[in-house]
Each structure stands twice: as C-alpha cells, then as structure tokens.
Structure 1
Amino acid sequence: MLSKEEALQAARQFLEAAYADDSSGWTIVVLPDGSYRYHAGWAVRFDSQEALDSGQPWVGPMMKILLVPDDGSEPEFPPTNIPVPDYLEKLAAGEWPAGGDAR
C-alpha cells in the first residue's frame, strides 16, 4: 500500500514525463489536498499553474486527475467517457476493463 507521499511522488514523475514534450508551455502542479485514496491506490489531482494563477479552469489539461495504483504499476489517466467514481466502482467490481483486471 502506497503512502500519500509515495503516490504524490509517483504522480509527479509520471506527469513530468507525460508533459515533457508538450508544446503548451503549461507548468503542471500536483494538488495534494485534492487527492484521495480509493480501493487500490490514489486518485491524485493536478492542474496547470497557469490555470491556478488565472482562475480559468479551461487553461491546462482537460483531464486533471491521475490514478496511482498501489501495486506499483504505472499511473494512468482514467477514461473520459464515464465519471471517475463510476470508473473506480467498475474497476473494483472487475467490470473494467472488459474481462476484468480488477486491481
């Protein structure tokens, strides 16, 4: 089981790599207070510093949550076609992905 600090560090590393070649110029910031534990890991919130400074939520990435599994597998962005709580319920029930690798 990952501590919150371990999950935040894993998220930072993943996001730095994911946005390293991004031409947007956004400064990605992990938001510890908006992060929470779910059944098999952490849901880590993040945003762009530019969105935080401007108060304009549409500045920065559209997806602003990252899932960091306890099992040490790579963090992942949740699918955008269903709400995150619904996705986490499906994941816990073994209904996602179809055929079910339920972490």
Structure 2
Amino acid sequence: MVTKDEAVTAAAGFLRTTAYPDRPDSVVMLPETAIRFTYGWTVRFDFNEHIETGAFIDAPFNSVVVVPHDGTAAHSAPSFPPPAEYMALQASGNWPPKKGH
C-alpha cells in the first residue's frame, strides 16, 4: 500500500521526468489535494507560471496524476471520465472500457 507521501513523491517524479521533462522546475505539487481510493491515489499539481499569473494559458491541461497502490507506474488521469469514476473503474477491473459498451 502506498502512503500519501509516497504518492506525492511518485507523482512528482513522473511529472518531472516523464510528463514534463522540459520544465521540471515549473511543477508544483499540491499534496493537500491527494485523495486515497481503493485503486490508488490521485494527486493534483500546477505549474509555477499558472500560480504566479492566474492565466488559463499557463495551467496544465490535466492536473491529476494517478499513483496506483500496486506499485505500477504513476500516470496522468484521463480527461474523461472524472477522476473518481476512473479510479472506481480501475478498482473494479472495468478499465479500459470494452469496445461497444
């Protein structure tokens, strides 16, 4: 089982080395937003530029990272369905959706 602190660290590592390796210093983790689900944790982040300017153009397209409890790699949450629904689908084994359903 992954702790909250471990989830935040894993999410930060994913963002800085895989998702945004060209701007690792811009990533600001928001650990107070971490939510524990059966499947894993969701952790939000923002970019320093967005925090400083408030400009929509400076915000991340998707600000949610998923850190599974089973030790598999952290990844960006899909833009649809909403994070809580995605996490429930993962926990039930119904992700990815079957074609035609």
**TM-score, length of structure 1 as denominator length:** 0.82
Alpha-carbon distance, 1:45 to partner: 0.4
Structure ranking higher in helix proportion: 2
Does the C-alpha gap of structure 1 residues 57 and 32 become closer, same or farther in structure 2, counting only changes over 3 Å? farther
Partner of 2:22: 21
Is residue 89 of structure 1 aligned with residue 98 of structure 2?
no
Once the two structures are TM-superposed, the CA of residue 70 in structure 1 deviates from its matched residue by 1.1
Question: How far, CA to CA, are the matches of 2:22 and 2:28 in structure 1?
Answer: 16
Gaps of 5+ in 1: none
Relative CO higher for 1 or 2, CA cutoff 8 Å, sep ≥ 6? 2
CA distance in 2, matches of 1:3, 1:86: 21
**Root mean square deviation, CA, Å:** 1.9
Shift of 1:80: 1.2
Whole-Å Cα distance in 2 between the matches of residues 89 and 71 of structure 1? 15
Q: Give, in whole Å, the separation in 1 of the partners of 2:57 and 2:3.
A: 30
Q: What are the equivalent positions in structure 2 for 1:2-41 lying under 5 Å apart?
A: 2-17=2-17, 18-21=19-22, 27-41=26-40
TM-score (structure 2 length as normaliser): 0.83
1:74 shift after superposition: 0.4
User: What is the percent sequence identity of the aligned residues?
Assistant: 36
